[in-house]
Structure 1
């Protein structure tokens, strides 16, 4: 069972449009509404794969009630923590060429009591969990050390932690030695404070995060693929994608694939890439089912192409 923690969930509305023209009335060619937030998306991807999951998240107001309803309709168990503020609503606009414009709301401010209730909910529900996936930004009211506190408490209880966040929250949590962290290229560059131009740059940055405490680093490098750096060394994996339809939730689907496959080693990395490649070819934040996956198309190698220039270098 994979338990997910989403401190700042959302109600996500995605519109598909022929083109995004500022100042014009645009008629959408498609739209969908999904429960959102990185941890929520991991739970959705785990459920779509037919595995067991439980989503722990603070919910408030009408948007929060709708998030819970949508998750229930997808067969996902929810452990809601009621909060006084209203759950945020986000908008994404997807163009045919794969360009995605997102408008993310700030979200509610959690009180110290609500922050502690969220930690308590994780502790009470984590019994029997194979992994606890802590994902996304922290809402107002939660200090950057909140994830570090969660990792410390989870480890004390014998649980394994996958952490997908960025900035000060990521750096603060590294000291508690999360079992795996999952930055994208931009988050990885931000964490080490320098640009990433090649795959080798990403490998070195991942090694530095391990030196700071991460036991393993699963780094998404966009169209180039993914990198796993752990005690066994570095592995690089990629898969062809015919056309990018939407990358909303693709990284979360990738993390779900990694954890479903055990959360360690080259086999889990291959699963991560298969899930991520499938997700970007689906509309909105739809999560892939087993029939969407093409595992045979994934290439995994320990001979990492260190000199390969990233398709989208991070400055």
Structure 2
């Protein structure tokens, strides 16, 4: 089983507008409400791929009830801790000129007792899981070393842990040696305090992560694919050119593919191929964190994986 942790779940509200101007009444052409959060995207894609998947985290209020209902509609199995606060909403305002403005609520403040309940829930679910994926930010009240503690608990239980977050959460998490990370260039530069200017710089940083005990470290190159270190090797993963409809959620879909590959005990290069195929398949869809299984399967043959170091 793949256990996905999404602590700061959201209700994503997508408004299509002709234009947007401050201080004016703006009428939407359409509105779309979907469960949101990086982990929700991961769980959705892994469910589509046919993997036994459970997503957990915090849900609260009427918004949380709505999100839980939508997850059920999508066929995603959720097992959440209910909190006193209200699950956040995140608004995306899309105008006809192609611009997108986002308004992100901070989310509920979680109490110590609610965190304690989550740790109990995590222990129960961890016993059934083979792979753990933690994605995204955390709500207020959750300590910055929380992911690091979850990583250590997973490793004590002999389970693999994939971490996709940023900032101090990432820095503390790296120290706990997760089995997979995928920092982008900005995040690595923030961690290291210097700029990365060429492929050799990326390879060097990947080597640093591998030497620090992280089994797999990926750096996205956007439409050019990615560089990925696995144990003692570094690979260049190249994806085909596609008609991108919406890149949002492609990184989460990539993580879902990696988790599925690990769950299936695929060889390293096939794991990377599946991750890249899922990320690319998501970009072909208007919906974030969604792929079509048949499209993923067709893309697999178009992904090139080359060992470069």
When residues 222 and 166 of structure 1 are mapped into structure 2, their CA distance, relative to the original with a 3 A threshold, is: same
When residues 196 and 97 of structure 1 are mapped into structure 2, their CA distance, relative to the original with a 3 A threshold, is: farther
> Which position in structure 2 is the counterpart of 1:58?
58
SS of residue matched to 2:197: strand
> Which position in structure 1 is the counterpart of 2:268?
265
RMSD between superposed Cα atoms in Å: 2.2
Asked if the contact 2:110–2:139 (Cα under 8 Å) also holds between the matched residues in 1, the reply is: yes
Structure 2 unaligned blocks of 5 or more: none
When residues 277 and 114 of structure 1 are mapped into structure 2, their CA distance, relative to the original with a 3 A threshold, is: same
Superposed counterparts of 1:283-294, under 5 Å: 283-293=286-296, 294=299
Separation of aligned partners in 2, 1:129 and 1:108: 27
Q: Does 1:121 align with 2:121?
A: yes
SS of residue matched to 1:91: strand
> Which position in structure 2 is the counterpart of 1:143?
143
Alpha-carbon offset, residue 196 of structure 1: 2.7
When residues 22 and 129 of structure 1 are mapped into structure 2, their CA distance, relative to the original with a 3 A threshold, is: same
Alpha-carbon offset, residue 217 of structure 1: 0.7
Asked if the contact 2:253–2:289 (Cα under 8 Å) also holds between the matched residues in 1, the reply is: no
Alpha-carbon offset, residue 218 of structure 1: 2.0
Which range moves more in the overlay, 1-10 or 235-244? 235-244
Alpha-carbon offset, residue 29 of structure 1: 5.6
Separation of aligned partners in 1, 2:197 and 2:96: 28
SS of residue matched to 1:144: coil
Superposed counterparts of 1:17-56, under 5 Å: 17=17, 21-23=20-22, 31-56=31-56
When residues 17 and 195 of structure 1 are mapped into structure 2, their CA distance, relative to the original with a 3 A threshold, is: farther
> Which position in structure 2 is the counterpart of 1:281?
284
Which range moves more in the overlay, 274-283 or 211-220? 211-220
Separation of aligned partners in 1, 2:213 and 2:99: 35
TM-score (norm 2): 0.90
TM-score (norm 1): 0.88
